[in-house]
Chains A and B, each alone.
Chain A
Amino acid sequence: MNAVVQLAILETKMFFRDRLSVFWTFLFPVVMIWLFGSMFVGNEMNGLTFAEQFVPSWIGVNIVTTSFFTLGTVLASYRETGVLRRYQSTPLQPWKILVAHTVQGTVIFIFSAILLMIFGMWMYGLSLPDYIGSTLLALLISILAFFPFALFLTSLAKNTQAAAAISSLFLNVMLFLSGATFPIAFMPEVLQFVAKLLPLYYVINLLRGTWNEAPISSYGVEVGILLGISVVSILLASRFFRWSGK
């Protein structure tokens, strides 16, 4: 167990040593909220204020960026540069590596979520989630679905560039089509259907819902789908874990 704790702590420290990833993870979402805020603030949609809509959805988007970039792409680079290969010749088991990185990702995500929430409260008068226990549970389920999902998808990449390309593709598609930035209701029917194929759509429904409207028990479909993705991805990610690109 000691190895998992050590690895998680070290990886978290190293994340903060890399200024670029700190910018993309922490400041970029804040800047985006601020930009969208300058356009949309004051326009209520479905009875929700700007911050009630956008802060929970950008917290959802941050789960995607953390899982694909902080976890997936980094592990792909470790695979390419031989960091994982080095681990292979120690008694460290693969699941410990995956757990340690998941813990690290969770810690970083929690920081970014708190930062976004505080920014929303300070700039746009956002209030704490109405069903705070439900929101926390929803976050946990979303993390459990997305982290292994991204770890599996990026492990298919041959190198770091390919992993980054996969990650950017998923992030951009989900950013625009899952209702995080543009309301789904404004989209043509085909795209509305596509949105429902994207896991982020369910994360955003769950987060917005528990933040503003109802406890998690009213979102059985979302919870079910996300748990399903989670189980399948965990199985795939551990079954197809690779130490090196060869």
Chain B
Amino acid sequence: MELVIKAENVSKKYGSEFAVKNLSFTVKKGEIFGIIGPNGAGKTTTLEMLEGILKPNSGTIDVLGYVPTKQLRTLNKRIGVQFQSTSIQKKMKVREALQLFASFYDGPSQKDHLIDLLGLHEKLNVNFEDLSGGWKQRVTLALATLHQPEILFLDEPSMGLDPHARREMWSLIERLRKQGCTIVITTHYMEEAEKLCDRVAMIYHGELKALDTPQQLLNRSVSKNLTFESHQLKRKDLETVPGVIRVEESDGLFHVFCKNQQETAYHIFRICHEREISLSNFYFEKGTLDDLFIHYLEEEVVQ
């Protein structure tokens, strides 16, 4: 499999604080690669080092065979970037923005195709500042993909979008990938990472905690749990059960995170049988990336 991005032992410091510490990963051609982590974890810093905007303090980065900070202009012809918090000129109309950005690149632009794909027809004569959040994201996505980039970097593309707009954004990203684009995306919506990404890197405090497919990450024990309802059981009854890592409870609905679901289930049933406590809606749950995310976050707090 051809690799389009190689990052080796990359670190970035702001003052004496590490924003990113000893990060290594590769991205394969044609995949959707997710970088996830809580706010301030170093996702954007990582992305901006790949884009060549920030220079790492140590480590090497190779994007499409270039050193990003040294060959920025050449690289920029072949990558597309959607920033998290940048804006284009407020009083620029959508049509004008597309024309302007198309003029920055030598080759033909897929402007008309993107207008169709993103449904921008009705908004072509609207000033950027008058667009809603969802439309702004669509426009900046269009600006990032005008020149059919080989790699597309998206920094929190669905931030601030309602669930419907978010799903539409995902299907657009899927379509761009079908055109042959490699996509690197940061997000803190776990659902997004789960549904969209081929592989996910989890970053906490600038360090890589896990890197795998969403399915493999979910198979990790930390996210497995037993879910059931009971109005007689107390949280503290469960915390001492063998193999239990963590208990979540709200209004009689329990999530018991454990190392071995079968063994812990056995103990819970035993206790309930002995004490004649009734359980209902008991099932084995695989857990979500959300659980894994919280697990790492709590681990962090404990340290």
Interface residues of A (CB under 8 A from B): 2-3, 6-7, 10-11, 13-14, 17-18, 78, 81-83, 85-93, 243
Contact = CB atoms under 8 A, between A and B. Distances in A.
B104 A85 contact: no
A89 B154 CA distance: 12
**Chain A interface helix/strand/loop/mixed:** helix
20 contacts: A2-B103, A3-B103, A10-B92, A11-B89, A13-B96, A14-B92, A81-B86, A82-B83, A82-B85, A82-B86, A83-B88, A85-B53, A85-B83, A86-B86, A89-B81, A90-B76, A90-B101, A91-B76, A91-B77, A91-B104
A10 B81 CA distance: 22
B86 A83 contact: yes
Given A14-B89, A93-B73, A86 B103 contact: no
A3 B104 contact: yes
Contact of B87 (A3, A7, A82): A82
A16 to B, nearest CB: 9
A242 to B, nearest CB: 12
A105 to B, nearest CB: 16
A2 B103 CA distance: 6
Nearest to A92: B104
B91 A17 contact: yes
A93 B103 CA distance: 13
Contacts, number: 63
Residue in B80, B100, B105 with the greatest tally of chain A CB atoms within 10 Å: B100
A85 B96 CA distance: 18
Contacts of B83: 82, 85-86, 89
A89 B53 contact: yes
Contacts of A88: 53
Contacts of B101: 90
Given A6-B100, A10-B96, A91 B87 contact: no
Contacts of B19: none
Residue in A6, A17, A90, A93 with the greatest tally of chain B CB atoms within 10 Å: A90
B51 interface: yes
Nearest to B54: A246
A87 B87 CA distance: 11
A154 B244 CA distance: 61
Contacts of B99: 6
Contacts of A91: 73, 76-77, 104-106
Shortest Cβ-Cβ A-B pairs, 3 listed: A82-B86, A89-B81, A90-B104
Contacts of B53: 85, 88-89, 243
Contacts of A18: 91
Contacts of A86: 81, 83, 86-88, 143
Contacts of B96: 10, 13
A78 B51 CA distance: 20
Contacts of A92: 104
A11 B83 CA distance: 22
B79 interface: yes
B130 to A, nearest CB: 12
Interface string B15-36: 0000000000000000000000
Given A3-B103, A6-B99, A83-B86, A89 B51 contact: yes
Contacts of B79: 89
A37 B157 CA distance: 57
